[in-house]
Amino acid sequence: MGDWSAMPEDLETPRRPVPGELTFDSPRRGKPRRHLADLTMAQRREAITAIGLPAFRADQVSRHYFSRLGDDPAGWTDVPAGQREQVSDVLTPPLMTALRELTADGGTTRKTLWRLFDGALVESVLMRYPDRVTMCVSSQAGCGMNCPFCATGQAGLTRNLSTAEIVEQVVSGARSLARGDVPGGPGRVSNVVFMGMGEPMANYRSMVAALHRLTERSPAGLGMSARGITVSTVGLVPRMRQLASEGLPVTLALSLHAPDDELRDTLVPVNTRWNVSEVLDAAWEYAATTHRRVSIEYALIKDINDQGWRADLLAKRLRRKLVHVNLIPLNPTPGSMWTASRPADEREFVRRLQAGGIAVTVRDTRGREIDGACGQLAAVGSLSRPLDAE
Ligand code: SAH
């Protein structure tokens, strides 16, 4: 990968947001270089003919990138040696450098810290299970949604990622699996969840283009099933509606965390813009249009949102809908005084939801010991961890 040591370190870190403050727009900064994963097949061919080479070189390089997962132009033996550098400069410029990899669960959970061209840091997490491999990707460096229990939200928004910066996180995980770097033998990425750093709906265009690249067949894209992809949102209602109209049957996950506006206003500040009834209506519209079951995410926080009456109210609001509740025991984050619910309260919460006829699962806490679990991705912390944590 590229050498970034000569790059200027001019990236200001964002100001910490005050409680409740929302940032929808990405600060304007220099753009990462254009990469084939940003482009449609037609645009890639145009880029290649613009430098005077035959259009089919774009197909060849796209195949190397998405099917053979090759990141070294020296291995592109079907491209004349004298053209490889030129073609790679136009279609596969280096986008990011892996600064650090932390592993847990015997190597089957791996968190990678990436440095982008401008010094921005993001993280991605690979999780291998017996029957699937899930890549959790970041859509922004930082996040502007300011949820007080989430480490990413507390650091503010640095910038939106480009489509290729999102796709490359998945392709990199696919490369590690194909090379057999992940215990369990060679494998493939079966699932992608937009649950890393950032609010994907606030970076809508790049996120949707990334969905196209992930699902298009090679050479256009990675050829994944849309059913294996989940986009998680705090609930930007107009964007939820827009996503329903894209014709991409990805799973929508809604970070609800409270069934009542009074509490949700404080846990998910964007609730002051679109309240519980409005986000739930948008979720039901999404389910009706795509026929996909919506996932409701609910972090269980001790004595904050885990009361029996809230479970009952949640069940009431979700009754008879195409929905599934994913409870997440709160993961610890620096500076937060909140902790996960008591086991007995968690069990009672599950019982009441089930009694109300709601499908419910409790998410595992994969990656917690490497700060790679939900809400723990903050990038800067990963740099200061002692090396023996690897
Ligand atoms: N911005 C998007 C996606 C990223 S977070 C969203 O909010 O949906 C993925 C999930 O982890 C969200 O449901 C988020 O609310 C949850 N989460 C954040 N911090 C957490 C924490 N400390 N413990 C457990 N879940 C957390």
Ligand 1 pocket test target in 125, 232, 305 with most atoms within 8 Å of CB: 232
Q: Which CATH superfamily does the domain covering 95-384 fall into?
A: Aldolase class I (3.20.20.70)
- Top mean pLDDT of 66-70, 154-158, 215-219 is at 215-219
**Contacts (Cβ under 8 Å, ≥6 apart) of 7:** 117, 118, 119
Cβ(191) to ligand 1 under 6 A?
no
How far is the centre of ligand 1, averaged over its atoms, from the C-alpha of 7 (Å)?
32
384 pLDDT above the threshold of 90: no
How far is the centre of ligand 1, averaged over its atoms, from the C-alpha of 385 (Å)?
22
- The protein residue with its alpha carbon nearest to ligand 1, atom 21, reads 375
Cβ(234) to ligand 1 under 6 A?
yes
Indicate the pLDDT class of residue 1, thresholds 50, 70 and 90: very low
Report CA torsion sign: 170, 256, 293, 350: positive
348 pLDDT above the threshold of 70: yes
Cα–Cα dist 211/161, whole Å: 14
pLDDT at 381: 62
**In the block, which residue shows the tokens 């809508």?**
204
Cβ(135) to ligand 1 under 6 A?
no
Of 38-42, 148-152, 333-337, the least confident:
333-337
Active site residues: 123, 374
Cβ(150) to ligand 1 under 6 A?
yes
Cβ(76) to ligand 1 under 6 A?
no
Q: In the numeric block, which tokens belong to residue 352? A: 């009441």
- The protein residue with its alpha carbon nearest to ligand 1, atom 11, reads 374
pLDDT at 389: 36
123 pLDDT above the threshold of 90: yes
Cβ(233) to ligand 1 under 6 A?
yes
178 pLDDT above the threshold of 50: yes
pLDDT at 379: 74
Cα–Cα dist 124/168, whole Å: 10
Sequence-distant contacts of 238-241: CB under 8 A, at least 24 apart: 239/201, 239/202, 239/204, 240/201, 240/279, 240/282, 240/283, 240/285, 240/286, 241/282, 241/285, 241/286
**In the block, which residue shows the tokens 């993001």?**
122
For the beta sheet containing 121-128, the strands, ordered from the edge strand earlier in sequence to the opposite edge, are 96-104, 109-116, 121-128, 133-136, 191-194, 229-233, 251-255, 294-300, 323-329, 359-362
Domain definitions of the chain by residue range: 36-91, 95-384
**For the packed helices 276-290 and 308-318, what is the interaxial angle rounded to 10 degrees?**
40
pLDDT at 70: 83
Indicate the pLDDT class of residue 372, thresholds 50, 70 and 90: confident
How far is the centre of ligand 1, averaged over its atoms, from the C-alpha of 298 (Å)?
9
Cα–Cα dist 353/210, whole Å: 35
Q: Please state, in angstroms and as integers, the Cα–Cα distance from residue 179 to each residue in 136, 171, 173, 182, 184, following that order.
A: 19, 12, 10, 8, 11
Cβ(226) to ligand 1 under 6 A?
no
Q: What does the pLDDT average to over 232-238?
A: 98
Q: What atom of ligand 1 comes closest to residue 255's alpha carbon?
A: 13
- Average predicted confidence (pLDDT) for the chain: 92
Cβ(374) to ligand 1 under 6 A?
yes
Q: How many CA atoms lie within 13 A of 115 on its CB side?
A: 18
367 pLDDT above the threshold of 90: no
Cα–Cα dist 255/177, whole Å: 30
pLDDT at 3: 42
What is the value of pTM for the model shown? 0.94
> pLDDT tens across 263-311, in order?
999 999 999 999 999 999 999 999 999 999 999 999 999 999 999 999 9
Q: What atom of ligand 1 comes closest to residue 376's alpha carbon?
A: 22
SS3 of 295-359: the string is EEEEEEECCCCCCHHHHHHHHHHHCCCCEEEEEEECCCCCCCCCCECCHHHHHHHHHHHHHCCCE
> pLDDT tens across 8-64, in order?
455 667 888 989 999 998 887 788 999 999 999 999 999 999 999 999 999 999 999
Q: What atom of ligand 1 comes closest to residue 143's alpha carbon?
A: 1
For the domain spanning 36-91, the CATH number is 1.10.150.530
Cβ(122) to ligand 1 under 6 A?
no
- The protein residue with its alpha carbon nearest to ligand 1, atom 19, reads 375
Indicate the pLDDT class of residue 383, thresholds 50, 70 and 90: low
Ligand 1 pocket test target in 255, 256, 268, 327 with most atoms within 8 Å of CB: 255
